[in-house]
Amino acid sequence: MDSIRSYLGMGIKKFIGFQAFELTYLGVLAVLPFIVVQPFIAKTILFVAFLIILNVVYQKLTFRRINTEEKYVFITGCDTGFGNAVARRLSGEGLSVFAGCYNPDGKGASQLRSEYSSIQIIKLDITDDNSVDLAFAEIEKKVRDKGLWALINNAAVYGVGDIEFSPLDEYRRLAEVNLFGLVRVTKKFIPLVRKSKGRIVNVTSNKGRIGIPSNSAFCMTKYGQEGFTDALRMEMKKFGVKVITVEPGNFTGSTAMLSKNKLPTYETELEKMWQSSPQTVKQTYGRSYMDGMIKSIADYSSKSSNSIAPVVNTIEMAVISQNPNQRYLVDGSNSLVDQDNLLIRLGSFLPERVIDFMVDRAYSSDKLLPKEKSAQ
């Protein structure tokens, strides 16, 4: 309860102020290129920024909290990261939490089990039909006629590598977890959520809104999640079930995805990709390109937000608010602006070639090619 009071009490002014400042800043950035030659576009962008700020203020001032008594929540991917933190937060707010963990005897699951009596650990492999069926049977037996207030699809895996280096197995690995795993769990648990007229919260990514070099497999699965969630939201409307999309920005370094401990794993995977690539691909890119890619991953991780609190706060709001937004784009990064989220916002009214230019400037990998290759 204290976290919500602080979030809605003295924290709300800070939150609104930060959002207003940030969005105004984004609006100014967007206007500058057009202020002289295209004053109409500049005015339009400022008007859009004003509407966004107005919506943020309205949402915070009209917030109404649900009664959390005897409400159940099921979260996937609770071994670490967002899922683990959200399980703790929602348990502290009075909800009964089923925490899906791939390794129920691991450190994350053990801590949840020992520290919170209202959290029940559920062994879960979202890529396995039998595992999902067993989890459903266990949860259904517990919730009975009350149903499930919220299903939070959070489990995900990450992967890096240019398209020409990435084997099909890498695409399948990410799709099995990020896409088909989410679909499998959702289809199974819809009846329990429908029973309570609750909500389904899908944690996707800003990479489901913008394609980034060396992230094709991850982006592909996240774009798939976005499309699935949009269709699901419309289909569930007739049953009174809300469907919410949460799109985290750059929080990779503060989660298990791209933490410092995880970086050596990606180095190993990229080295395997290099070794297994056709000779023609190696000659085209050169060894220096792969070495530069490894460095760029570490650089991206170092720019990540140092805290996952904004995502945890957002998921909490999606669960406990009577009228949550349909979509939340959550800024990460340890700098003033999350550059990918900025590009997503600008992409609504700038030509795609301009966005491509900005992405290329932010992630330009052609400089890693041998000079004679990049000049072609």
Catalytic residues: 219
CA 276 to chain centre: 31
CA distance linking residue 168 with residue 358, whole number of Å = 29
CA–CA gap between residue 10 and residue 15 (Å, rounded)? 9
Token code pair at residue 286 = 């050169």
Strand partners, 101: 123
Cα 71 from Cα 94, distance rounded (Å)? 8
Residue 206 backbone phi and psi in degrees, to 5: -65, -15
Parallel, antiparallel, or unpaired: how do β-strands 96-101 and 119-123 relate?
Answer: parallel
Tokens representing 274?
Answer: 């290099």
Cα 364 to Cα 85, 252, 340: the distances in Å are: 34, 20, 14
Q: Look up tokens 């992409």; give the residue.
A: 347
- Dihedral of CA atoms 49, 31, 303, 294 in degrees, nearest 10, equals 130
Query: Within a 10 A sphere around the Cβ of 264, how many other Cβ atoms?
Result: 9
